[in-house]
Amino acid sequence: MDILNILVVGLLLGGIYGLVSIGLNLIFGVIRIVNFAHGELVMLGMYGAYLAYATLGLDPYIAVLLVVPALFVVGIIVHRLVLQPLHAESNMQIFATFGLLIILQNAVLAITRGEGFSVPSKVAGFTFGVGDIRVTVSRLVIFLALTATAIALHLFLKRTLIGKSIRAVTQDRQAARLMGINVERTFTITFGIGSALAGLAGVLLSPIYTLSPGIGGNFILAAFAVVVLGGLGSVAGAYFGGMIVGLVEAFAGFYIDPELKQAIWFLIFLVVLIVRPTGLFGQVGAEEVGFREQN
Amino acid sequence: MSRLLTVENVSSGYGLTPVLRGVSMHVDTGEVVAVVGANGVGKSTLLRTITGLVHPTGGDITFDGVHITGLPAHRIVSHGLAMVPEGGRLFTFMTVMENLELGAFNPTSREDTQQSLHEVMELFPILRERRAQRAGSLSGGERQMCAIARALMSRPRMLMLDEPSLGLSPVMLEKVFDLIRMVVASRDVTVLLIEQNVADALEMANRAYVIEHGVIAKTGPGAEMLHDPDIQRAYMGL
Ligand SMILES: Nc1ncnc2c1ncn2[C@@H]1O[C@H](COP(=O)(O)OP(=O)(O)OP(=O)(O)O)[C@@H](O)[C@H]1O
Ligand SMILES: [Mg+2]
């Protein structure tokens, strides 16, 4: 395997990490909740794709149109019923997401009885090559979806009034209220968007992996590394952070040992926290916003 | 003159700590009313309670004939009540322009955003120059102007200012007070002003209230209170 090949493998892997991270990062940046159940939302997206296949015979690339809105609704409900009532105690919210992780995993386990499903797709497994480099359609789609999502989310946050109100809430909740922004509703919508993005990741990952209730755990550690590396709450951070983690993993896996990938995530984690605690793309000073008088 | 804001026997505080203990006051349309008092007596808490950021534990607040007591803060703005919080509280990572746009976020003023932008930039030409700059990089005086302009973007009937002179040099302070006078004159807004610079505030105000220990200790016309020996001794270091 030559360097170019490893580069491509790393970037495509980065696409997966980036796509899983982008919703996690949005939720963290705006609501300041570390959503431990994010991987389970990805898992729900995967099972959603399976359900669409099993009942309607849909290809996952079409099921996206159903599963992503469904996860948006799931996110809204979760935020309203579980997280919003705990708004005065942010630590409790974090515990609640952990509880949600356990409930979702076990609910899916109970329903599926642990059977490992796979979701077939007519196009996902197709590979094409340029020279020695082989690329699978499923992974390329993820990379492109991440790129499109990152651009769209960035424009949404920068250009639209709703996006600006979300950024305002991120920076100063009280001032945002004084502008007439409904902070609670902004949180709910943001959680919905973050969940929908997790759902998108899940659907697009479904042709690649055999589904299991605990599969979210495969991505979530790397996703946390991406969030810390790229910068809390930064869209560009999730994108480029994902790429960097993917590349490091690919190169280290080739030159050192693939078994070391978790050690490498944590190494990245530590180095970033020491050298640049705001992450590569984080707003310097933004990490303090969450600790300022909030309500 | 018609009564615009009535605060009746309002109590409020944080958690178990009461701060206001039965405050009654009012503001009439077109007035400039000052609230003065020592540090920590509850001046900011009074404004936060009126805007709904803090919910009162007792009493009643009426604005323009509507009971706004206990309404969430984001709904109260739409009634025409805007506040410039202590320190301005701009969205420091966003541009001046974005801050101003957000000032008009509430549904009643959103349609008029372009018109309002034009007006506040006429009022504060420096903001036009600085519109693409991050609000966090403005000077202290510019920040205060931007915060006032942002509040005006909601086209308020009443503007409440929490220590607009905070952290400003004497020269800048004069300028900000001039600007407030200009806003009062040109925009037909009623003003409720909190100040530590008691002399300046009383000079500008039609009427004033003194808060002590969470209750109104004294009230009267600004000019009269300016020459009140007790007030001079307690708040003006004379
Ligand atoms: N968020 C809060 N939580 C708990 N206590 C608070 C909070 N904000 C203010 N206080 C307390 O309430 C009291 C009144 O505070 P407030 O900010 O209203 O005073 P102030 O008159 O505006 O003072 P200053 O002139 O220093 O701004 C103070 O004792 C303060 O410590
Ligand atoms: Mg104060």
Domain-embedded: residue B197: yes
Instruction: Note the pLDDT tens digit of each residue in B38-77.
Output: 888 999 999 999 999 999 999 999 999 999 998 999 999 9
- Checking if the pLDDT of A284 tops 80, the result is no
- B52: containing domain: 3-90+161-235
Under CATH, which number does the domain A2-111+133-294 receive?
1.10.3470
Report the SS3 class of residue A71. Answer: helix
Q: Domain locations in chain A?
A: 2-111+133-294
Confidence at residue A290, expressed as pLDDT on a 0 to 100 scale: 44
Supply the pTM of this predicted model. Answer: 0.91
Distance in angstroms (rounded) separating the CA atoms of residues A205 and A88: 36
pLDDT of the residue at B238 = 64
In a domain, B17, yes or no: yes
Three-state SS at B192: strand
Domain CATH for B86: 3.40.50.300
CB contact under 8 A, A179 and B78: no
Alpha-carbon span A146 to B34, nearest angstrom: 54
Strand order in the sheet with B32-36: B81-84, B158-162, B190-195, B32-36, B207-212, B215-221
Using beta carbons and an 8 Å cutoff, which residues of B are at the interface with A? 51-53, 72-75, 77-78, 82-83, 85, 89-94, 98, 101-103, 105-107, 110, 150-151, 154
Residue B106 region by backbone torsions, left for phi larger than 0, else alpha for psi between -120 and 50, else beta: beta
Asked if residue A286 has pLDDT above 60, the reply is: no
Residue A35 has pLDDT above 60, yes or no: yes
* Per-residue confidence (pLDDT) for residue A294, from 0 to 100: 46
| Per-residue pLDDT tens over the stretch B120-155 | 999 899 999 999 999 999 988 899 999 999 999 999
Query: Which of A160, A178, A232, A283 would you mutate first to test chain B, the one with the most B CBs within 10 A?
Result: A178
Q: Which residues surround ligand 2, an ion (CB under 5 A)?
A: B 44, 86
* Ligand 1 atom 7: residue of nearest CA: B14
Q: Tell which A residues from 254 to 283 touch B, by Cβ distance under 8 Å.
A: 283
Using an 8 Å CB-CB cutoff, list chain A residues near B91.
Answer: 167-168, 171-172, 175
> A168, B94: Cβ pair inside 8 Å?
yes
Based on the structure, what is the number of domains in chain B?
1
Kindly state whether residue B105 falls inside one of the protein's structural domains: no
Q: Is B39 in the pocket of ligand 1 (CB under 6 A)?
A: yes
Buried b (16+ CB within 10 A) or exposed e, B218-230: beeebeebbebee
**Is B30 among the domain residues?**
yes
Task: Return the pLDDT at A210.
Answer: 92
Residues in B touching A290 (Cβ below 8 Å): none
Does the residue B211 lie in any domain? yes
For all residues of chain B together, what is the average pLDDT?
Answer: 92
Is 50 exceeded by the pLDDT of residue A295? no
Which of A161, A175, A285 faces B89 most closely, judged by CB atoms? A175
Give burial (CB, 10 Å; 0-12/13-18/19+) of B163: buried
Q: Does A177 lie at the interface with B, CB-CB under 8 angstroms?
A: yes
Best residue for ligand 1 mutational test, from B11, B12, B16, B17 (most atoms within 8 Å of Cβ): B17
Which residues in B lie closer than 8 A to residue A175 (C-beta atoms)? 85, 89-91
Least Cα distance to B236 among B206, B201, B209 occurs for B201
pLDDT at A1 over 80: no
pLDDT at residue A228 is higher than 80? yes
Q: Which range, of A239-243, B149-153, B178-182, averages the lowest pLDDT?
A: B178-182
Q: Using an 8 Å CB-CB cutoff, list chain B residues near A171.
A: 91-94
Ligand 1 touching residue B14 (CB < 6 A): yes
Closest CA to A175 of B67, B163, B99: B99
Which comes out higher in pLDDT, residue A131 or A289? A131
Q: State if residue B82 touches ligand 1 by the CB under 6 angstroms criterion.
A: no
Contact B44, B162 (CB under 8 A): yes
User: Lowest-pLDDT range, A61-75, A110-124, B23-37, B224-238?
Assistant: B224-238
* Residues A83-112, mean pLDDT to the nearest whole number: 91
Q: Which of B45, B54, B94, B102 to mutate to test the interface with A (most CBs of A within 10 A)?
A: B102
C-alpha span between A57 and B9 (Å, rounded): 67
| Structure confidence at residue A283 (pLDDT) | 65
Q: What is the pLDDT of residues A58-88, one digit of tens each?
A: 999 999 999 999 999 999 999 999 999 998 8
Residue to mutate (ligand 1; options A293, A294, A295; most atoms within 8 A of CB):
A293
Strands (DSSP E) along chain B, which ranges?
A: 3-14, 17-28, 32-36, 58-63, 66-67, 81-84, 158-162, 190-195, 207-212, 215-221
In a domain, B36, yes or no: yes
Residue B207 inside a domain? The answer is: yes
CA-nearest residue, atom 26 of ligand 1: B39
- Mean pLDDT of the region A272-291: 68
Per-residue pLDDT, B171:
85
For residue B13, what are its two tokens?
């505080």
